[in-house]
Every structure is written in C-alpha cells, then in structure tokens.
Amino acid sequence: MFGYTKLMQQRMFVFLGIALLIGIGVGYGVADVRAQSQQASIITASYPLRMSDKAFPLVNPLIAYETPETNALLEYRSLKTRILNIIEAAKDASKVANVSFYYRDLNTGDWIGINQNASFYPASLLKVPVMIAYFKEAESKSSILKERITYKLIGSGDAFDSPSDLKAGISYTVNELIEKMIVDSDNGATYTLIEHIDPKVLNEVYTDIGIDHPGDDSSTYQIPTRIYALFFRVLYNATYLTTEYSQKALDLLVQTTYHEGLVAGISSKITVAHKFGEHVTSIDRKIIQGVELHDCGIVYHPERPYLLCVMTSGKTLSEATNIIKTISREVFDSVDGDTHGN
C-alpha cells in the first residue's frame, strides 16, 4: 500500500510539474501575443513628420517622428499620477482653471502628457518661430542678420509690457533685435522684426514643420501644448535649421532672463533653454480678468535631457507661476532620482 501511495505521489509531482510547464508556456504565449499586439499598436500609431519642399522634389527631409504616449512603464505612470495630483489640487483650490502638461525624454523619445492637446494663446512663445524664420533665411543669405532696422517701441509701458533698453527711432542689426526678442522678450523687437520679414517666409516655418500658422492676426491664434513643443524638438535635433543655427537659437534661449517658471524648479547647475509666454485678459489694461502663463523648454540634465512644456490659465500670474514651478520641480526630482537610483 505504501509503495502505491508513493507511486501516486510521484505521478502527482510529475503531473504538477507538467501542468506548471504548460502554464508557464501558455503564460509566455499570452504575454508574447500581448507584446506583439502592443508593438503592432505602437507601430500603427507612429508616423514621421516630413518637410515637403517643391524646390527639392527628390528629397523629403524628416522633421520629427511621432509615437504614442508611453503608458506601459511604471516610471512614467507614477510621474503622470503625481503631476495629475498637483494639477487637480491646484484646480480644487481655484488657483488655476486649466493646466496642460507635456514631457518628453529626448534620449528615448518616450513622452507623457496631461491635457496636452488643449489650446492656449501662445503670446511671447511665438517669438521662437520668428527667430527660426530669420535663421532659416540666414542659411542662404547670412547678410540678413547684419541688416539694420529702425526700432519701433510698442505698448503703453504698463506692467504687462516687457521692459526694453532699446531706443525708438534708433537702428539695430537683425542679430541684435533677435537677441533682445528672445533673451529679454522685447515686444518692440518682435514687432520690428515681423514688419521687416516677408510674411510668407514666417508662415513657411509653420507649414514646413506641420503646424497651422497664425495668419495676419496672432492675437486670436491658439496652439496645443504638444504641438508647440515641436519648435523645441526641431531645434534640439537640428532637423529644420542647420546645426550651426540650431545651436545659435538654443544659445539665446539659454540666456532667457525669465527664471520664475521652469527654471525655478530645477537645480541651478542645470542648463535650460526655454521661452515663456504671458497672455492677459483685462479691462482697459488695468482690471485683470484672467491670465495665461506658459513656459516651454529643454532641460539639459547631464544624463537624461528632456523637454517640458506647461501651459496654464487662471486668475493671477503668481498662482500660474507657482504651478509651473511645482510641476517642474516634480519632474526634475523624478528624472534626477531615477538616474541616480534614488
């Protein structure tokens, strides 16, 4: 009887072993099918953004490559949840009405977003494509940057206008005006530069990259956060301007004097190339009804450089500034902590 029982036990162990192997095989099979399905989904949702130039019909330069949002990795799911909690807490406290968040790892192309397709008034963010348009022209005509233009001061001089040390009626080189436009966000420099350039040249920048251009009235123009981020992607990857002019553009964006948003949430040792935009809705330019504040740029983390764009709308600039700074700090701490294994 003992021998039979032992034999049955042995058979039971063999059966359980076979069942376990089958289960593992089926599990791997299901996992493999799921992996293949996810891979097929990613491939289907991925597509290139190319620049079509009729002057060069035999080439079709790659501008960027679009991929689906990275939701499979725990690291990104966790970061997205934390950012969402920050945004919801701010909205519940009526500190902001709307927030759009877009993050992209510039090494891997992985990205996550929250409300990233929401549209906002870009305001001074549009100074970046103006700079790109001039540098695009300079690739074939470098003398354009040395041309002198008479500076025209605009604005009433109230708190909503960017200060300027340029003098109305004095001529400056295009190079000098571009620097003031980007570094100090000088509105007069922007106005002077836009008046000087052929509108078709400026609109072609948007068209080439695959973005709807503002047309004749930029004051009513809105753009989604994820779409605006393309300007920074093409600069970082040097896929629209030459390497020389992409570097020149980013050099200016690094010198931006606005340090209240993205930069405020990041270690002072880290280089950031960014541009902010501020849109104020007011009565007689005195009573503020609402504000939009945005900051978009590249954070040059030494091991994991990334692109971060945050666009907001709310009642006050201080609250909008704080939410951008808080989100920036959360992202930087996450990237820096993961890099160093914390």
71 Cβ neighbours under 8 A, 6+ residues apart: 77, 80, 112
Output the average pLDDT for the chain.
84
Higher pLDDT, 156 or 324: 324
User: Which H helix or E strand runs over 309?
Assistant: strand 306-314
Residue 12 in any domain: the answer is no
Rounded to whole angstroms, the Cα distance separating 330 from 177 reads: 35
What percent of the chain clears pLDDT 70, i.e. is strictly above it? 80
* CA 197, chain centre distance (Å): 26
Rounded to whole angstroms, the Cα distance separating 13 from 169 reads: 94
Residue 39 in any domain: the answer is no
pLDDT band for 21, please (50, 70, 90 cuts).
very low
As given in the structure block, the two tokens for residue 181 are: 């436009």
The pLDDT, as a whole number, for residue 288 is 62
Residue 1 in any domain: the answer is no
> What range does the domain containing 105 cover?
62-339
pLDDT band for 201, please (50, 70, 90 cuts).
very high
Rounded to whole angstroms, the Cα distance separating 24 from 20 reads: 6
As given in the structure block, the two tokens for residue 254 are: 């690094």
Tally of domains in the chain: 1
Note the pLDDT tens digit of each residue in 134-193: 999 999 999 999 999 999 887 644 444 566 789 999 999 999 999 999 999 999 999 999
Q: 268, 248 in Cβ contact below 8 A?
A: no
Predicted structure pTM score: 0.83
Residue 37 in any domain: the answer is no
Residue 29 in any domain: the answer is no
Residue 255: CATH number of its domain: 3.40.710.10
Higher pLDDT, 99 or 161: 99
Residue 109 in any domain: the answer is yes
Residue 8 in any domain: the answer is no
Q: Is the pLDDT confidence value at 223 over 70?
A: yes
Residue 279, exposed/middle/buried by CB under 10 A (0-12, 13-18, 19+)? buried
Amino acid (1-letter code) at residue 295: D
Which of 7-21, 92-106, 116-130 is least confident?
Answer: 7-21
Residue 55 in any domain: the answer is no
